[in-house]
Amino acid sequence: MKKGRLVTVLLVIIIAASVSALLFYRSIQQKRDGLSALEPSVSVPTTEEMLTIDLYFTDREGSRLALERREIPVGFIDALVRSAIESLLSGPEKKHLTKTIPEGVQIRSMFVKDGTAYVDFTSSIAANHVGGAWTELLTIYSIVNTLTENFAEIGKVQLLIDGRESETLAGHVDISRPLLGKVQLLAGGW
Amino acid sequence: MVLALIMSVVFSTVSIEADPLSVIQSKGMINSPFAVLKRAGNRLELGSIVSAFSLKTSMDFLGERLDLVGEKGSVRLMIDSPLILSKGAYEVLSTPMRTEGGNILVPTDFLTKALPALLGRSAAVDEKGSTVLLGEEGTGAFEGVDPEGLVRLAAFIDRDKLLPPEKKKLVPRGLKVVVIDPGHGGRDKGAKGGTGTQEKDLVLSISQKLRTMLEEDLGVKVVLTRTADYFVGLKERTAIANNNRAELFLSIHANAAFRRSVRGYETYYLSFSATDLESSQVALLENRSLGVEGEQGEEALLEAILWDMAQLEYINQSGELAARVQQNLVKNAGGRDRGVRQAPLAVLMGARMPATLVEVGFITNPEQEIKLNRETYQTRLARSLFEAVSDYNRSLIRGELRGR
Ligand SMILES: [Zn+2]
**B268 in contact with chain A, both atoms CB, cutoff 8 A:** yes
- Pairing relation of β-strands B89-92 and B83-86? antiparallel
Helix (H, G, I), strand (E, B) or coil at B191: coil
Q: Across the interface, do B234 and A180 touch by the CB < 8 Å criterion?
A: no
- Pairing relation of β-strands A65-73 and A50-58? antiparallel
Taking residues B64-92, report their average pLDDT. 79
Contacts of A172 in chain B (CB under 8 A): 253, 343, 345-347, 357
Q: Indicate whether A33 pLDDT > 60.
A: no
Q: Indicate whether B308 pLDDT > 50.
A: yes
Nearest CB neighbour to A62, from listed B257, B273, B343: B257
CA atoms of B79 and A94, how far apart (whole Å):
52
Residue A55's pLDDT band (boundaries 50, 70, 90)? very high
Worst-scoring range by mean pLDDT, B69-73, B244-248, B294-298? B294-298
Taking residues B154-168, report their average pLDDT. 35
Residue B291's pLDDT band (boundaries 50, 70, 90)? very low
**B279 in contact with chain A, both atoms CB, cutoff 8 A:** yes
Best of A135, A136, A182, A183 to mutate (most B CBs within 10 Å, chain B) = A135
Instruction: Name the burial class of residue B181, with classes exposed (0-12), middle (13-18) and buried (19+) by CB atoms within 10 angstroms of its CB.
Output: buried
Taking residues A74-81, report their average pLDDT. 91
Q: Across the interface, do A171 and B183 touch by the CB < 8 Å criterion?
A: yes
Q: Chain B: give the shortest CA distance to residue A78, in Å.
A: 24
pLDDT of A39? 43
Residue A44's pLDDT band (boundaries 50, 70, 90)? very low
Worst-scoring range by mean pLDDT, A11-20, B179-188, B260-269, B357-366? A11-20
User: What would the DSSP string read from start to end of B336-352?
Assistant: -EEEEEEE-BTTTTT-S
CA atoms of B165 and B129, how far apart (whole Å):
8
User: What would the DSSP string read from start to end of chain A?
Assistant: -HHHHHHHHHHHHHHHHHHHHHHHHHHHHS---TTTSPPPP-S-TTSPPEEEEEEEEE-TTSSSEEEEEEEEE---HHHHHHHHHHHHHH--SSTT-B--S-TT--EEEEEEETTEEEEEE-THHHHT----HHHHHHHHHHHHHHHHHH-TT-SEEEEEETTEE-S-SSSSB--SS-EE--GGGGGT--
CA atoms of A66 and B286, how far apart (whole Å):
37
pLDDT of B122? 72
CA atoms of B163 and B109, how far apart (whole Å):
11
Q: Chain B: give the shortest CA distance to residue A35, in Å.
A: 30
Torsion sign across C-alpha atoms B364, B368, B370, B373? negative
Assess contact for B343 and B268: CB atoms under 8 A: yes
Alpha carbon of B235 to ligand 1 centroid (Å): 15
Structural domains in chain B, CATH included, are: 2-146 (3.30.457.10), 170-397 (3.40.630.40)
